[in-house]
Structure 1
Amino acid sequence: MNKQKIAELRAGLETGFINSGYNSSLAYQPQFLSNNHKEGKKVLSSIEDELMACDKFQISVAFITMGGITPLLQTLKELEKNGIPPSLR
């Protein structure tokens, strides 16, 4: 990650967790995700949107079931088809 991106990420974290008045890009500020059926918002949709906009990704989960991963399988297959593999550590 280049120095500019790191600075933008730090600024976003400053805004989100320390000083809400600190000026930073909305793209780097943390967001609370929740399902809201009245507004048609789903955590899954947010994850899929972010994955489809990335050039690489990492996922770390402690516990997951097939019911939790199955909805993401098509998105993960599309990423693989487009040459966007996960970063492994």
Structure 2
Amino acid sequence: MAPTPSPAYQRLRRFIAERMRMSHIYQPLMLMELLGRSSPATAEDIARRILGEDVTQIDVYRSASSGWCAGCSTATPSRSCSRAATG
């Protein structure tokens, strides 16, 4: 016979099943952030965790920044830029 789940477990299970409105892809990340902490997580903490694991967003930002010169803030650097990215 399985032990009776704690009230906290029952509340969490009910919340996930009935009230949580988030993509099934992001739910595990949010839960890992919430449950892996010794203090409450802010919305920003959760957002940073999701963004840090979202490969599609990393690709978007990599693509968006590929035309920028490394080390200076100019788009499409000229040949004379001494800090132009080599890769």
Q: Same fold (TM over 0.5)?
A: no
TM superposition score normalised by structure 2: 0.25
The structure number with the bigger radius of gyration is: 2
TM superposition score normalised by structure 1: 0.25
Give the number of the structure with larger relative contact order, counting CA–CA contacts within 8 Å between residues 6 or more apart: 1
